[in-house]
Amino acid sequence: MFSRKNRRPRNAELLSAWESLDAGDVHGALRQLRSGAERLPLGEVALVVRRAAEGAGFDDLREAAAALAARPAQAKALYEFGYACVERGLSELAVPALREVLRHNPDALVVVRELVSAYEDVGRHREAVELLTRHEGAFADWPDRYLLAYNAIMAGDLALAHRQHALLPDPEDPQWRPARDRQRRMLERATAAACVSPLDTTDLRGWQYVIGGTVLGTRSPYGYDAGMTGRYAFLQDSPEQCLRGLLRLRTLLAAAGVRPRSVSLLPDRGSRILGLAAAELLDLPAEPFTAGREDTVVVAYDLNDVAPDLLDQLFARAPGQVLHEHASCWTDAPAVAADSVALLHQTVVAPWDGQLRQGADGGLERGTADDRPETVLAEEIVRSHPAPEADGGDTAPADPDETFTAFVAAVRGTWLRGDRAGLRSTGPVPSSRFA
Protein backbone atom coordinates (compact mmCIF):
# COMPACT_ATOMS: atom_id res chain seq x y z
CA MET A 1 0.00 0.00 0.00
CA PHE A 2 1.38 3.42 -1.03
CA SER A 3 1.74 6.22 1.46
CA ARG A 4 0.45 9.68 0.63
CA LYS A 5 4.04 10.72 -0.12
CA ASN A 6 4.26 8.14 -2.90
CA ARG A 7 1.04 9.13 -4.65
CA ARG A 8 1.35 9.73 -8.37
CA PRO A 9 -0.76 12.13 -10.44
CA ARG A 10 -3.48 10.61 -12.60
CA ASN A 11 -3.63 13.37 -15.22
CA ALA A 12 -1.81 12.25 -18.41
CA GLU A 13 0.07 15.53 -18.85
CA LEU A 14 1.21 15.46 -15.24
CA LEU A 15 2.26 11.83 -15.57
CA SER A 16 4.57 12.97 -18.37
CA ALA A 17 6.08 15.56 -16.00
CA TRP A 18 6.41 12.84 -13.34
CA GLU A 19 8.30 10.65 -15.84
CA SER A 20 10.62 13.59 -16.56
CA LEU A 21 11.44 13.60 -12.85
CA ASP A 22 12.05 9.84 -13.02
CA ALA A 23 14.64 10.61 -15.71
CA GLY A 24 16.25 13.34 -13.58
CA ASP A 25 14.95 16.17 -15.81
CA VAL A 26 13.62 18.61 -13.23
CA HIS A 27 13.66 21.56 -15.66
CA GLY A 28 11.72 19.57 -18.25
CA ALA A 29 9.09 18.65 -15.67
CA LEU A 30 8.70 22.26 -14.56
CA ARG A 31 8.40 23.45 -18.17
CA GLN A 32 5.46 21.09 -18.63
CA LEU A 33 3.85 22.36 -15.44
CA ARG A 34 4.30 25.99 -16.46
CA SER A 35 2.79 25.44 -19.89
CA GLY A 36 -0.31 23.79 -18.39
CA ALA A 37 -0.64 25.80 -15.20
CA GLU A 38 -4.05 27.27 -16.06
CA ARG A 39 -5.77 23.96 -16.89
CA LEU A 40 -4.15 21.30 -14.69
CA PRO A 41 -5.73 20.16 -11.38
CA LEU A 42 -3.96 21.99 -8.57
CA GLY A 43 -3.87 19.04 -6.18
CA GLU A 44 -2.07 16.89 -8.74
CA VAL A 45 0.24 19.73 -9.79
CA ALA A 46 1.24 19.88 -6.13
CA LEU A 47 2.28 16.21 -6.22
CA VAL A 48 4.77 16.91 -8.99
CA VAL A 49 5.98 20.15 -7.41
CA ARG A 50 6.50 18.41 -4.06
CA ARG A 51 8.75 15.83 -5.67
CA ALA A 52 10.66 18.42 -7.73
CA ALA A 53 11.14 20.65 -4.65
CA GLU A 54 12.39 17.69 -2.63
CA GLY A 55 15.06 17.00 -5.25
CA ALA A 56 16.05 20.67 -5.36
CA GLY A 57 16.24 21.01 -1.58
CA PHE A 58 13.47 23.67 -1.43
CA ASP A 59 11.94 22.66 1.90
CA ASP A 60 9.46 25.55 2.01
CA LEU A 61 8.04 24.66 -1.40
CA ARG A 62 8.07 20.93 -0.64
CA GLU A 63 6.06 21.46 2.56
CA ALA A 64 3.59 23.81 0.89
CA ALA A 65 3.10 21.44 -2.05
CA ALA A 66 2.58 18.47 0.27
CA ALA A 67 -0.07 20.40 2.23
CA LEU A 68 -1.90 21.36 -0.97
CA ALA A 69 -1.80 17.82 -2.31
CA ALA A 70 -3.43 16.67 0.93
CA ARG A 71 -6.04 19.49 1.00
CA PRO A 72 -6.41 20.92 -2.53
CA ALA A 73 -9.48 23.01 -1.65
CA GLN A 74 -8.16 24.58 1.57
CA ALA A 75 -7.59 28.34 1.28
CA LYS A 76 -4.57 28.31 3.62
CA ALA A 77 -2.90 25.51 1.65
CA LEU A 78 -3.60 27.26 -1.66
CA TYR A 79 -2.21 30.59 -0.43
CA GLU A 80 0.94 29.10 1.08
CA PHE A 81 1.56 27.09 -2.08
CA GLY A 82 1.14 30.22 -4.21
CA TYR A 83 3.42 32.22 -1.93
CA ALA A 84 6.14 29.54 -2.02
CA CYS A 85 5.90 29.29 -5.82
CA VAL A 86 6.42 33.06 -6.18
CA GLU A 87 9.42 32.91 -3.83
CA ARG A 88 10.97 30.06 -5.87
CA GLY A 89 10.42 31.58 -9.31
CA LEU A 90 7.39 29.47 -10.26
CA SER A 91 4.88 32.28 -10.51
CA GLU A 92 3.01 30.62 -13.40
CA LEU A 93 1.99 27.93 -10.90
CA ALA A 94 1.14 30.49 -8.22
CA VAL A 95 -1.43 32.32 -10.34
CA PRO A 96 -4.21 29.68 -10.43
CA ALA A 97 -3.74 28.83 -6.75
CA LEU A 98 -3.95 32.46 -5.63
CA ARG A 99 -6.88 33.17 -7.92
CA GLU A 100 -8.74 30.28 -6.36
CA VAL A 101 -8.14 31.71 -2.87
CA LEU A 102 -9.37 35.10 -4.03
CA ARG A 103 -12.51 33.60 -5.57
CA HIS A 104 -13.63 32.57 -2.09
CA ASN A 105 -12.09 35.57 -0.28
CA PRO A 106 -12.58 38.48 -2.72
CA ASP A 107 -11.64 41.23 -0.24
CA ALA A 108 -8.37 39.71 0.99
CA LEU A 109 -5.81 42.37 0.06
CA VAL A 110 -2.89 40.20 1.19
CA VAL A 111 -3.91 37.70 -1.50
CA VAL A 112 -4.43 40.47 -4.06
CA ARG A 113 -0.88 41.72 -3.48
CA GLU A 114 0.62 38.25 -3.79
CA LEU A 115 -1.32 37.60 -6.98
CA VAL A 116 -0.15 40.95 -8.38
CA SER A 117 3.42 39.90 -7.60
CA ALA A 118 2.87 36.65 -9.50
CA TYR A 119 1.32 38.48 -12.46
CA GLU A 120 4.30 40.87 -12.55
CA ASP A 121 6.80 38.01 -12.54
CA VAL A 122 5.26 36.49 -15.67
CA GLY A 123 4.64 39.79 -17.48
CA ARG A 124 0.84 39.75 -17.14
CA HIS A 125 0.64 43.42 -16.25
CA ARG A 126 -2.77 44.06 -17.80
CA GLU A 127 -4.29 41.43 -15.49
CA ALA A 128 -2.52 43.04 -12.52
CA VAL A 129 -4.06 46.39 -13.49
CA GLU A 130 -7.55 44.89 -13.75
CA LEU A 131 -7.18 43.17 -10.38
CA LEU A 132 -5.94 46.27 -8.58
CA THR A 133 -8.57 48.48 -10.19
CA ARG A 134 -11.33 46.22 -8.84
CA HIS A 135 -9.98 46.78 -5.31
CA GLU A 136 -9.17 50.49 -5.59
CA GLY A 137 -11.86 51.46 -3.09
CA ALA A 138 -10.17 49.50 -0.31
CA PHE A 139 -6.47 49.49 -1.04
CA ALA A 140 -3.65 51.59 0.43
CA ASP A 141 -1.62 54.13 -1.52
CA TRP A 142 1.56 52.26 -0.61
CA PRO A 143 1.96 49.72 -2.01
CA ASP A 144 -1.33 49.27 -3.88
CA ARG A 145 -1.75 52.55 -5.78
CA TYR A 146 1.96 52.53 -6.57
CA LEU A 147 1.59 48.99 -7.95
CA LEU A 148 -1.39 50.07 -10.04
CA ALA A 149 0.60 52.92 -11.59
CA TYR A 150 3.63 50.67 -12.16
CA ASN A 151 1.64 47.92 -13.82
CA ALA A 152 -0.21 50.47 -15.95
CA ILE A 153 3.16 51.62 -17.30
CA MET A 154 4.23 48.06 -17.98
CA ALA A 155 0.92 47.35 -19.70
CA GLY A 156 1.35 50.41 -21.92
CA ASP A 157 -1.49 52.46 -20.38
CA LEU A 158 0.33 55.73 -19.75
CA ALA A 159 -2.84 57.78 -19.20
CA LEU A 160 -3.86 55.56 -16.28
CA ALA A 161 -0.30 55.52 -14.95
CA HIS A 162 -0.09 59.33 -14.92
CA ARG A 163 -3.45 59.60 -13.13
CA GLN A 164 -2.58 57.07 -10.46
CA HIS A 165 0.93 58.42 -9.90
CA ALA A 166 -0.48 61.94 -9.44
CA LEU A 167 -2.70 60.62 -6.62
CA LEU A 168 0.25 59.14 -4.71
CA PRO A 169 1.27 61.04 -1.57
CA ASP A 170 4.86 60.96 -0.44
CA PRO A 171 5.47 57.60 1.26
CA GLU A 172 5.82 57.68 5.01
CA ASP A 173 8.02 54.58 4.92
CA PRO A 174 11.41 55.57 3.45
CA GLN A 175 11.82 52.14 1.81
CA TRP A 176 9.29 53.22 -0.86
CA ARG A 177 11.06 56.45 -1.84
CA PRO A 178 13.48 54.89 -4.37
CA ALA A 179 10.52 53.14 -6.05
CA ARG A 180 8.55 56.39 -6.18
CA ASP A 181 11.52 58.23 -7.71
CA ARG A 182 12.06 55.50 -10.32
CA GLN A 183 8.40 55.59 -11.29
CA ARG A 184 8.48 59.37 -11.63
CA ARG A 185 11.51 59.10 -13.91
CA MET A 186 9.76 56.44 -16.01
CA LEU A 187 6.84 58.78 -16.60
CA GLU A 188 9.17 61.68 -17.40
CA ARG A 189 10.95 59.49 -19.94
CA ALA A 190 7.62 58.48 -21.44
CA THR A 191 6.63 62.11 -21.91
CA ALA A 192 9.93 62.84 -23.67
CA ALA A 193 9.85 59.74 -25.87
CA ALA A 194 6.22 60.29 -26.91
CA CYS A 195 7.32 63.36 -28.88
CA VAL A 196 9.06 61.17 -31.48
CA SER A 197 7.99 57.62 -30.75
CA PRO A 198 4.55 55.95 -30.94
CA LEU A 199 4.95 53.96 -27.71
CA ASP A 200 2.71 51.24 -29.10
CA THR A 201 3.12 47.48 -28.78
CA THR A 202 5.81 47.42 -31.50
CA ASP A 203 7.89 50.38 -30.30
CA LEU A 204 10.78 48.45 -28.77
CA ARG A 205 13.22 51.36 -28.61
CA GLY A 206 10.65 53.70 -27.08
CA TRP A 207 9.54 51.32 -24.35
CA GLN A 208 13.06 50.12 -23.59
CA TYR A 209 13.86 53.73 -22.83
CA VAL A 210 10.73 54.34 -20.76
CA ILE A 211 11.03 51.30 -18.50
CA GLY A 212 14.81 51.16 -18.09
CA GLY A 213 16.36 54.42 -19.26
CA THR A 214 18.19 52.43 -21.94
CA VAL A 215 18.73 53.76 -25.45
CA LEU A 216 18.56 50.78 -27.79
CA GLY A 217 21.00 51.11 -30.67
CA THR A 218 19.69 48.53 -33.14
CA ARG A 219 16.68 46.28 -33.63
CA SER A 220 16.61 42.82 -35.13
CA PRO A 221 14.63 42.63 -38.40
CA TYR A 222 14.37 38.82 -38.26
CA GLY A 223 10.90 37.50 -37.52
CA TYR A 224 9.80 41.05 -36.82
CA ASP A 225 6.12 40.40 -37.52
CA ALA A 226 6.34 36.72 -36.52
CA GLY A 227 6.70 37.34 -32.81
CA MET A 228 10.16 38.88 -32.28
CA THR A 229 9.36 42.62 -32.66
CA GLY A 230 13.00 43.73 -32.81
CA ARG A 231 14.61 41.28 -30.40
CA TYR A 232 16.96 38.49 -31.43
CA ALA A 233 16.28 34.89 -30.44
CA PHE A 234 19.62 33.23 -31.31
CA LEU A 235 22.46 35.35 -32.68
CA GLN A 236 25.92 34.42 -33.88
CA ASP A 237 27.60 37.76 -33.44
CA SER A 238 30.27 39.20 -35.73
CA PRO A 239 32.92 41.94 -35.69
CA GLU A 240 30.71 43.85 -38.14
CA GLN A 241 27.75 43.72 -35.77
CA CYS A 242 29.97 44.86 -32.89
CA LEU A 243 31.16 47.80 -34.97
CA ARG A 244 27.60 48.76 -35.86
CA GLY A 245 26.72 48.84 -32.16
CA LEU A 246 29.75 51.00 -31.34
CA LEU A 247 28.95 53.42 -34.14
CA ARG A 248 25.47 53.81 -32.70
CA LEU A 249 27.07 54.47 -29.30
CA ARG A 250 29.21 57.19 -30.88
CA THR A 251 26.13 58.72 -32.49
CA LEU A 252 24.28 58.56 -29.17
CA LEU A 253 27.03 60.37 -27.27
CA ALA A 254 27.27 63.10 -29.91
CA ALA A 255 23.50 63.64 -30.18
CA ALA A 256 23.12 63.73 -26.39
CA GLY A 257 26.02 66.13 -25.95
CA VAL A 258 27.90 63.73 -23.66
CA ARG A 259 31.70 64.07 -23.83
CA PRO A 260 33.48 61.28 -21.94
CA ARG A 261 37.18 61.51 -21.22
CA SER A 262 37.96 57.79 -21.14
CA VAL A 263 36.73 54.27 -21.76
CA SER A 264 36.64 51.99 -18.70
CA LEU A 265 37.47 48.34 -19.29
CA LEU A 266 35.63 45.68 -17.31
CA PRO A 267 37.84 42.65 -16.62
CA ASP A 268 36.02 39.86 -18.53
CA ARG A 269 37.53 39.00 -21.93
CA GLY A 270 34.52 39.99 -24.04
CA SER A 271 34.19 43.38 -22.37
CA ARG A 272 37.91 44.09 -22.70
CA ILE A 273 37.87 43.30 -26.42
CA LEU A 274 34.86 45.51 -27.06
CA GLY A 275 36.16 48.23 -24.73
CA LEU A 276 39.49 48.43 -26.55
CA ALA A 277 37.62 48.75 -29.85
CA ALA A 278 35.40 51.47 -28.38
CA ALA A 279 38.41 53.41 -27.12
CA GLU A 280 39.96 53.45 -30.59
CA LEU A 281 36.70 54.35 -32.30
CA LEU A 282 35.93 57.15 -29.82
CA ASP A 283 39.59 58.30 -29.74
CA LEU A 284 39.74 58.01 -25.96
CA PRO A 285 42.23 56.42 -23.55
CA ALA A 286 41.30 52.98 -22.19
CA GLU A 287 41.68 52.38 -18.45
CA PRO A 288 40.79 49.49 -16.14
CA PHE A 289 37.37 50.00 -14.56
CA THR A 290 37.34 51.80 -11.22
CA ALA A 291 34.13 52.36 -9.28
CA GLY A 292 33.01 55.98 -9.18
CA ARG A 293 35.10 57.21 -12.10
CA GLU A 294 33.36 60.19 -13.69
CA ASP A 295 33.02 61.17 -17.36
CA THR A 296 33.77 57.72 -18.71
CA VAL A 297 32.12 55.09 -20.91
CA VAL A 298 32.04 51.70 -19.18
CA VAL A 299 31.86 49.04 -21.90
CA ALA A 300 30.45 45.55 -21.42
CA TYR A 301 29.92 42.90 -24.05
CA ASP A 302 27.21 41.12 -21.99
CA LEU A 303 26.56 42.27 -18.43
CA ASN A 304 25.59 38.74 -17.41
CA ASP A 305 29.29 37.88 -17.87
CA VAL A 306 30.36 40.60 -15.41
CA ALA A 307 31.10 39.67 -11.79
CA PRO A 308 28.26 40.49 -9.35
CA ASP A 309 30.46 42.71 -7.18
CA LEU A 310 31.23 44.91 -10.19
CA LEU A 311 27.55 45.10 -11.09
CA ASP A 312 26.88 46.32 -7.57
CA GLN A 313 29.37 49.13 -8.20
CA LEU A 314 27.54 50.09 -11.41
CA PHE A 315 24.09 50.31 -9.79
CA ALA A 316 24.67 53.90 -8.64
CA ARG A 317 25.60 56.26 -11.46
CA ALA A 318 28.74 58.40 -11.22
CA PRO A 319 28.46 61.87 -12.82
CA GLY A 320 29.10 61.72 -16.57
CA GLN A 321 29.38 57.92 -16.53
CA VAL A 322 27.74 55.98 -19.38
CA LEU A 323 27.30 52.21 -19.21
CA HIS A 324 27.19 50.59 -22.66
CA GLU A 325 26.29 46.94 -23.14
CA HIS A 326 26.59 45.36 -26.56
CA ALA A 327 24.45 42.21 -26.26
CA SER A 328 21.81 42.34 -23.52
CA CYS A 329 19.79 39.25 -22.63
CA TRP A 330 16.10 40.13 -22.51
CA THR A 331 14.93 36.76 -21.14
CA ASP A 332 17.44 36.85 -18.26
CA ALA A 333 17.97 40.55 -17.73
CA PRO A 334 21.16 41.61 -15.93
CA ALA A 335 21.04 43.04 -12.43
CA VAL A 336 21.66 46.56 -13.75
CA ALA A 337 20.11 48.26 -16.76
CA ALA A 338 22.70 49.75 -19.12
CA ASP A 339 22.32 53.31 -20.39
CA SER A 340 23.05 52.17 -23.93
CA VAL A 341 22.47 48.72 -25.45
CA ALA A 342 23.39 47.72 -28.99
CA LEU A 343 21.00 44.77 -29.30
CA LEU A 344 18.67 42.50 -27.31
CA HIS A 345 19.07 38.72 -27.50
CA GLN A 346 17.92 35.53 -25.87
CA THR A 347 21.08 33.59 -26.76
CA VAL A 348 24.24 35.04 -28.27
CA VAL A 349 27.57 33.58 -29.38
CA ALA A 350 30.33 36.18 -29.31
CA PRO A 351 32.57 36.48 -32.39
CA TRP A 352 35.56 35.09 -30.47
CA ASP A 353 33.68 32.16 -28.92
CA GLY A 354 33.29 28.81 -30.65
CA GLN A 355 30.56 29.49 -33.20
CA LEU A 356 28.17 26.92 -34.59
CA ARG A 357 28.84 25.63 -38.09
CA GLN A 358 27.85 22.78 -40.34
CA GLY A 359 29.99 19.71 -39.81
CA ALA A 360 31.12 17.15 -42.36
CA ASP A 361 28.12 14.94 -41.55
CA GLY A 362 25.71 17.79 -42.20
CA GLY A 363 24.94 18.38 -38.52
CA LEU A 364 25.84 21.37 -36.40
CA GLU A 365 29.08 21.48 -34.46
CA ARG A 366 30.77 24.14 -32.38
CA GLY A 367 34.02 25.56 -33.69
CA THR A 368 37.05 26.39 -31.59
CA ALA A 369 37.29 29.66 -29.74
CA ASP A 370 39.47 32.43 -31.16
CA ASP A 371 42.29 32.81 -28.64
CA ARG A 372 44.13 35.61 -30.40
CA PRO A 373 45.13 38.56 -28.20
CA GLU A 374 42.41 40.98 -27.15
CA THR A 375 44.11 43.86 -28.95
CA VAL A 376 44.07 41.94 -32.24
CA LEU A 377 40.37 41.10 -31.93
CA ALA A 378 39.56 44.70 -31.01
CA GLU A 379 41.44 45.95 -34.06
CA GLU A 380 39.48 43.49 -36.22
CA ILE A 381 36.24 45.08 -35.00
CA VAL A 382 37.41 48.61 -35.76
CA ARG A 383 38.76 47.69 -39.22
CA SER A 384 35.65 45.73 -40.25
CA HIS A 385 32.83 47.18 -42.31
CA PRO A 386 29.81 48.00 -40.16
CA ALA A 387 27.03 45.49 -40.59
CA PRO A 388 24.30 46.99 -42.78
CA GLU A 389 20.70 46.84 -41.72
CA ALA A 390 19.71 43.26 -42.40
CA ASP A 391 16.76 42.68 -44.67
CA GLY A 392 14.06 41.18 -42.53
CA GLY A 393 11.27 41.67 -45.05
CA ASP A 394 8.82 44.44 -45.78
CA THR A 395 7.36 44.48 -42.26
CA ALA A 396 10.57 45.37 -40.39
CA PRO A 397 10.75 49.17 -40.13
CA ALA A 398 13.83 50.95 -41.44
CA ASP A 399 16.12 52.37 -38.78
CA PRO A 400 18.42 54.96 -40.36
CA ASP A 401 20.81 57.10 -38.34
CA GLU A 402 18.50 60.08 -38.79
CA THR A 403 15.67 58.32 -36.97
CA PHE A 404 17.99 57.22 -34.18
CA THR A 405 19.45 60.73 -33.80
CA ALA A 406 15.99 62.30 -33.64
CA PHE A 407 15.03 59.92 -30.84
CA VAL A 408 18.17 60.76 -28.85
CA ALA A 409 17.63 64.49 -29.33
CA ALA A 410 14.11 64.16 -27.93
CA VAL A 411 15.06 62.20 -24.81
CA ARG A 412 18.49 63.62 -23.97
CA GLY A 413 17.09 65.78 -21.17
CA THR A 414 15.81 62.71 -19.30
CA TRP A 415 18.72 60.34 -20.03
CA LEU A 416 21.39 59.38 -17.47
CA ARG A 417 19.32 60.05 -14.37
CA GLY A 418 18.90 58.02 -11.21
CA ASP A 419 20.12 54.53 -10.45
CA ARG A 420 20.40 51.61 -12.88
CA ALA A 421 17.85 49.26 -11.36
CA GLY A 422 17.58 46.08 -13.42
CA LEU A 423 14.46 45.30 -15.45
CA ARG A 424 11.93 42.86 -14.01
CA SER A 425 9.77 42.82 -17.12
CA THR A 426 10.01 43.21 -20.88
CA GLY A 427 7.23 45.79 -20.76
CA PRO A 428 4.45 46.38 -23.30
CA VAL A 429 6.33 45.03 -26.35
CA PRO A 430 6.00 41.23 -26.51
CA SER A 431 8.48 38.84 -28.16
CA SER A 432 8.47 35.09 -28.60
CA ARG A 433 10.60 33.06 -26.19
CA PHE A 434 12.34 29.82 -27.03
CA ALA A 435 13.17 27.04 -24.57
What is the DSSP code string of 45-104? HHHHHHHHHHHHT-HHHHHHHHHHHH-TT-HHHHHHHHHHHHHTT-HHHHHHHHHHHHHH
Q: Is the pLDDT of residue 389 over 70?
A: no
List domains and CATH numbers for the chain: 4-186 (1.25.40.10), 200-414 (3.40.50.2020)
Which residues have CB under 8 Å from 200's CB, separation 6+? Answer: 156
Q: Is the pLDDT of residue 26 over 80?
A: yes
User: How confident is the prediction for the chain on average, in pLDDT?
Assistant: 94
Write down the H helix ranges in 308-393. Answer: 308-315, 374-383
Work out the pLDDT band at 261, boundaries 50, 70, 90: very high
Q: Is the pLDDT of residue 390 over 60?
A: no
For the stretch 325-371, pLDDT in tens is: 999 999 999 999 999 999 999 999 999 998 887 666 666 788 899 99
- Mean pLDDT on 2-10: 65
For the stretch 277-332, pLDDT in tens is: 999 999 999 999 999 999 999 999 999 999 999 999 999 999 999 999 999 999 99
For the stretch 244-259, pLDDT in tens is: 999 999 999 999 999 9
**26-35, 83-92, 138-147, 410-419: least confidently modelled range:** 26-35
Predicted structure pTM score: 0.94
Q: Is the pLDDT of residue 434 over 90?
A: no
Q: Is the pLDDT of residue 24 over 80?
A: yes
Backbone angles phi, psi at 340, to 5 degrees: -140, 135
For the stretch 172-195, pLDDT in tens is: 999 999 999 999 999 999 999 999
Q: Is the pLDDT of residue 38 over 50?
A: yes
pLDDT of amino acid 6: 61
Work out the pLDDT band at 3, boundaries 50, 70, 90: very low
Q: How many CB atoms lie within 10 A of CB 176?
A: 16
Work out the pLDDT band at 387, boundaries 50, 70, 90: low
Q: Is the pLDDT of residue 27 over 50?
A: yes
pLDDT of amino acid 72: 95
Q: How many CB atoms lie within 10 A of CB 327?
A: 27
- Inter-axis angle of helices 26-35 and 42-56, to 10 degrees? 150
Enclosing H/E stretch for 243: helix 239-256
